[in-house]
Amino acid sequence: MQKPSPLLQRASYKFLAGSPPQEKKLLTVGISSEQHLHGSYLLDTLQSLFQASSEPELNCIVVLVHLSDPDPEWLSQTVANISSLFKPHIEAQKLLVIHGGLSDSPLPGDLNNVSHASPCEAHYSRQKVNYVLLMNFALNLSEYFLMIEDYVHCTPKFISTIYWVLSAWKELPWVILEFSSLSLSGKVFHNSDLSRLTSFFLLFHENIPIHLFLSEFRLLLAQNVPIRFSPSVFYHMGNYSVFEDTCFPVEKEEVFDEPDNPVADVLTDMMAELNIIPQYAYILNKECYSVLDPIEGNYLTVILEKPQKVIRIEVLTGSDKQGLYWLQQGQVELGYDPLEDSRGCARYTLLGPLVEGHLDQRVFYEEDSVEELSCIRLIVLASQKSWLLIRQIRVWTQNEEEES
């Protein structure tokens, strides 16, 4: 994985529309597209992406589309449609369309290739090479790489959402950040990892779905559980083809009911106003917990009455409307092994930093782990000379029916 794959030395690319930006961007939005049995949503995906983004947001990114299908008629028509609809973005070097291939080497994944045991395996193989060519081209375009599929709806300001998360996680170790529950779309990587990732893809001849390779890659680089933010900012549009239904599990967006904060005690070392109790930060009503001038190292810990399989946590700080008094630098930690004196937990792991005073993340557990959560701890990472409002800590747990 430390060395570029020899196969990529034979990679060649053709510019179909646009040219690379002159300066390195924050984020490359990478899309690999081919013909689909029941029509294409690529143009709708691009329309959604550009409509969801402001001009300042678009200045931070480049959209890279890899048209991977070799059919010349399809390529010509698709490029003509993109050039017609998105001419301003192409001219501004915000949209680049390419076609890649491995010179003098047939791409694996030919549906007629008898070495493949099934059409699905051929599809997996072709998909793997298409993404390898996309990522290989994107190596030096930006600091980060966002993968989305060619039939995705983007929510408004998704670029800002990703930008602020990347800023908050900049000094923390991570391999993949997930902004959607979809298996491929919404995953962000360091560009510095793309060379290793493409080599990893090409090391193995097994033709399995890309998302399984990504999970293995994450584990190899010591990120033991997914880091996924809520709510999702990408959703599938249109219908799956029968072929895609057969080869990939049908993906449904996770739907959460209202939080069900289990019974818990709340402890803190922060100085509060008179008659304000820390439990206000955890009770699901409009009360909030307000403190003055929190200092680095202050904490507020939720100690669950009994261990729970928590699946999502949201922490809201600051006033709801004005956006004032939020925790400027803080993080949320997950606690295990409760102490006998009910003063917290013996062991904590990082869930994530607050992003503009807010955290909303899924909670995952290592494979085959039977551990359950006993504490949720909010830590102040830097002193601030102002009021701090901890508006609400919201917790979702997995009930027995969901677990089974």
For residue 249, pLDDT over 80 is answered with no
360 half-sphere exposure, CB direction, 13 A CA radius = 14
Binned at pLDDT 50, 70 and 90, residue 239 comes out as low
Q: Which residue has the tokens 């990472």?
A: 381
Q: What is the pLDDT, as a whole number, of residue 13? A: 93
Question: 274 exposed, middle or buried (CB, 10 Å; 0-12, 13-18, 19+)?
Answer: exposed
243 half-sphere exposure, CB direction, 13 A CA radius = 13
The yes/no answer on whether domain 264-397 falls in CATH 2.60.120.10 is no
- Give the CA distances from residue 253 to residues 177, 183, 239, 402, in Å, rounded to whole numbers and listed in that order: 17, 11, 14, 15
Tokens of 296: 């680095």
Question: Going by DSSP bridges, is the β-strand pair 95-102/142-148 parallel, antiparallel, or unpaired?
Answer: unpaired
Mean pLDDT of the residues in the chain: 89
Instruction: Give the model confidence (pLDDT) of 380-393 as tens digits.
Output: 999 999 899 999 99
For residue 114, pLDDT over 60 is answered with no
Alpha helices for 86-225 (secondary structure H) = 87-91, 119-138, 158-168, 194-203, 210-220
Distance of alpha carbon 213 from alpha carbon 368, whole angstroms: 19
For residue 107, pLDDT over 90 is answered with no
Instruction: Give the model confidence (pLDDT) of 189-217 as tens digits.
Output: 999 999 999 999 888 766 778 888 999 99
The verdict on whether omega for the bond into residue 231 sits within 30 degrees of 0, i.e. cis, is: yes
Is the CB of residue 83 less than 8 Å from the CB of residue 46?
no
Binned at pLDDT 50, 70 and 90, residue 38 comes out as confident
| Structural domain boundaries in the chain | 11-247, 264-397
For residue 342, pLDDT over 80 is answered with no
Long-range contacts, stretch 383-387, CB < 8 angstroms, 24+ apart? 383/293, 383/294, 383/295, 383/296, 384/293, 384/294, 384/327, 384/328, 384/329, 385/293, 386/293, 386/325, 387/290, 387/291, 387/292, 387/324, 387/325
In this prediction, residues 106-128 reach a mean pLDDT of 63
User: According to the per-residue pLDDT averaged within each range, which of 10-14, 32-36, 174-178 is highest?
Assistant: 174-178
**Predicted structure pTM score:** 0.91
Q: What percent of the chain has pLDDT over 90?
A: 70
In this prediction, residues 156-167 reach a mean pLDDT of 97
Binned at pLDDT 50, 70 and 90, residue 133 comes out as very high
Instruction: Give the model confidence (pLDDT) of 283-319 as tens digits.
Output: 998 889 999 999 999 999 999 999 999 999 999 999 8
Question: Domain 11-247 has what CATH class?
Answer: alpha beta
Q: What is the pLDDT, as a whole number, of residue 369? A: 78
For residue 185, pLDDT over 90 is answered with yes
Instruction: Give the model confidence (pLDDT) of 322-333 as tens digits.
Output: 778 999 999 999
Distance of alpha carbon 311 from alpha carbon 365, whole angstroms: 9
Q: What percent of the chain has pLDDT over 70?
A: 89
Is the CB of residue 307 less than 8 Å from the CB of residue 373?
yes
Tokens of 79: 């490029």
Query: Residues in the chain, how many?
Result: 404
Instruction: Give the model confidence (pLDDT) of 9-27 as tens digits.
Output: 788 899 999 999 999 999 9
Q: What is the pLDDT, as a whole number, of residue 118? A: 73
Is the CB of residue 339 less than 8 Å from the CB of residue 374?
no
Instruction: Give the model confidence (pLDDT) of 83-99 as tens digits.
Output: 999 999 999 999 999 99
Binned at pLDDT 50, 70 and 90, residue 110 comes out as very low
Q: What is the pLDDT, as a whole number, of residue 376? A: 98
In sequence order, which residues have a C-beta less than 8 Å from that of residue 77 and are 6 or more positions away?
A: none
